[in-house]
Amino acid sequence: MSAIQTINKKLVGFFCLALLAGPTSAWADYALNMTKGVTKISEEVYDLHMLVLIICTVVGIGVFGVIIYSLINHRKSKGAVAAQFHESTTVEVIWTTIPLVILILIAIPATGTLLKIEDSSDADVTIKVTGWQWKWQYDYLDENVSFFSSLSEASNKARQRDSGINVYDVKHYLLSVNEPIVVPVNKKVRILTTSNDVIHAWWVPALGLKRDAIPGYINESWFKAEKTGTYRGQCAELCGKDHGFMPIVVEVVDQDKYKQWVVAKQEQAIAEAAASGKAMSKSELMARGEKVYKGNCMACHQDKGQGLPPMFPALAGSKIATGPVKAHMDIVIHGKPGTAMQAFAQQLNDADLAAVITYERNSWGNSAGMVQPSDVKAAR
């Protein structure tokens, strides 16, 4: 979660928060507050947070001030005698009315903001976001663009057991992806969240957006970024083994760059569809397969195919990677029920599937032949 650099001016006068903040230079890299964000909604949420914080601080100081004063000045050693009364209508009315007024003052702006959060009508761009274990699928419903976004190769490699890589040397460690989503600035973007397996949550603090992705349900939300830049988030629902490794990256660009990106993605999809119908050389399959393996398989089976037994078996020298090709294709395409091995039929095209299977059958000492996209197509 990105950090704002200064405490809201409204709280400068509060001594208790000043103590928490400390010298500005000493706390420059630490978050002591929510992020203000780059959307109107995120700013309103931030202002509501500050309003409630101010009210709670004032009430807290008042209540504890009275308690401390009473303990000091009305103690038995000073000869204080406790008042003998059991009820007071005036007191009851006062301590009921004041909290009620405070709650109403909070509820009025909060209700307005909540209504705005739920209004996803008149969107300029609509993106369907599907959570998978453990990556995100993005479908631009009006532009015919679809792709998966996974943890970046640098972060994925650094997080492996015994990788020997200092994670502090990896830029945006665990918050970078291989395929960010791109949206236009000052345009209303409607987000439809769902899931293919378990409950996830799509959360980008700077956009003021967090929505659960639930299998079988479509949840709506929206944002309108008013500033270009790159904004990062992550899954905010405990969704399994690799919950901490499915970040979100949103790039907000101007309208011209967005149009160029859409055209490029559409042309890429056409090229990939054409490649899925062609035979590929072994070198082409191996090069493409290595990239697909690192983005989809390495987390469980490790970079050298050694796996993490018994949960994630090794591929180096395994019966699957060196045995009958039909069995190998079947488990990669359709998965294996009752295990952590998921199906990749919907996640990868024929060319990617053929490439990664070929890579697994010809790496780490394996030498078990090639698989072509046409073989995968037939196996589907």
What pLDDT is stored for residue 4 in this prediction? Answer: 37
Q: Give domain status of residue 358, yes or no.
A: yes
Do residues 224 and 341 share a domain?
Answer: no
Do residues 72 and 168 share a domain?
Answer: no
The tokens describing 329, both together, are 């294709």
What is the rounded average pLDDT of the residues 52-70? 93
Element (H, E) at 189: strand 189-195
CATH number at residue 299: 1.10.760.10
What is the rounded average pLDDT of the residues 138-150? 94
Q: Torsion-angle region of residue 144: left (phi > 0), alpha (psi -120 to 50) or beta?
A: left
Q: Give domain status of residue 2, yes or no.
A: no
Do residues 132 and 260 share a domain?
Answer: yes
Of residues 278 and 123, the one with the higher pLDDT is 123
Do residues 254 and 301 share a domain?
Answer: no
Do residues 347 and 260 share a domain?
Answer: no
Last residue of a domain, one of 66, 94, 118: 118
Contact 209, 191 (CB under 8 A): yes
Element (H, E) at 49: helix 40-73
What pLDDT is stored for residue 55 in this prediction? Answer: 92
Specify the pairing of strand 135-140 against strand 145-149: antiparallel
Do residues 110 and 246 share a domain?
Answer: no
Q: Give domain status of residue 306, yes or no.
A: yes
pLDDT at 22 > cutoff 90:
no
- Specify the range with the lowest mean pLDDT, choosing from 2-11, 197-206, 339-348: 2-11
Contact 174, 186 (CB under 8 A): no
Residue numbers of the domain that contains 33: 9-118
Q: Give domain status of residue 108, yes or no.
A: yes
pLDDT at 16 > cutoff 80:
no
Q: Which residues contact 239 (CB under 8 A, 6 or more apart)?
A: 131, 133, 134, 198, 199, 200, 246
- Helices and strands per DSSP (H, E), number in the chain: 11, 10
**Distance set, CA 190 to CA 127, 140, 180, 187, 247 (Å):** 6, 10, 17, 10, 19
pLDDT at 319 > cutoff 60:
yes
- pLDDT mean across residues, the chain: 87
Q: Residue type at 99? A: P
What pLDDT is stored for residue 24 in this prediction? Answer: 38
Last residue of a domain, one of 118, 142, 162: 118
What pLDDT is stored for residue 31 in this prediction? Answer: 64
Do residues 89 and 134 share a domain?
Answer: no
Query: What long-range pairs does 312-319 form, CB within 8 A, spacing at least 24?
Result: 312/340, 315/360, 315/363, 315/364, 315/366, 316/363, 316/364, 316/365, 316/366, 317/364, 317/365, 317/366
- Specify the range with the lowest mean pLDDT, choosing from 74-88, 107-121, 210-224: 74-88
Q: Give domain status of residue 297, yes or no.
A: yes
What pLDDT is stored for residue 29 in this prediction? Answer: 54
Do residues 302 and 370 share a domain?
Answer: yes
What is the rounded average pLDDT of the residues 130-150? 94
Q: How many domains does the chain have?
A: 3
- Specify the range with the lowest mean pLDDT, choosing from 10-19, 80-89, 230-239: 10-19
Q: Output the CA torsion 205→210→215→219 (10° steps).
A: -140
CATH number at residue 174: 2.60.40.420
Q: Give domain status of residue 44, yes or no.
A: yes
What pLDDT is stored for residue 30 in this prediction? Answer: 57
Q: Give domain status of residue 329, yes or no.
A: yes
Bridge partners, 229 (sequence order): 252
What is the rounded average pLDDT of the residues 35-59? 92
What pLDDT is stored for residue 14 in this prediction? Answer: 39
Burial 233-266 (b: 16+ CB within 10 A, else e): bbbbbebeebbebbbbbbbbbeeeebeebbeebe
Q: Which of 203-212, 332-341, 370-379 has the highest mean pLDDT?
A: 203-212
Q: Give domain status of residue 28, yes or no.
A: yes
What pLDDT is stored for residue 315 in this prediction? Answer: 93
What is the rounded average pLDDT of the residues 69-86? 84
Last residue of a domain, one of 74, 92, 118: 118
CATH number at residue 20: 1.10.287
pLDDT at 8 > cutoff 50:
no
Contact 353, 260 (CB under 8 A): no
Do residues 103 and 171 share a domain?
Answer: no
Binned at pLDDT 50, 70 and 90, residue 377 comes out as confident
Do residues 188 and 298 share a domain?
Answer: no
- Specify the range with the lowest mean pLDDT, choosing from 75-89, 194-208, 231-245: 75-89
Q: Residue type at 224? A: K
The tokens describing 212, both together, are 């659960």
Whole-structure pTM over 0.85, yes or no? no
First-to-last C-alpha distance (Å) of the chain: 41
Do residues 267 and 370 share a domain?
Answer: no
Q: Residue type at 38? A: V
The tokens describing 101, both together, are 């007024």
The tokens describing 328, both together, are 């190998």
Bridge partners, 200 (sequence order): 213
pLDDT at 139 > cutoff 50:
yes
**Distance set, CA 195 to CA 131, 174, 201, 232, 237 (Å):** 4, 21, 9, 20, 12
pLDDT at 365 > cutoff 50:
yes
Do residues 94 and 195 share a domain?
Answer: no
Q: Mind listing the pLDDT tens digit for each residue in 246-288? A: 999 999 999 999 999 999 999 988 888 777 778 889 999 999 9
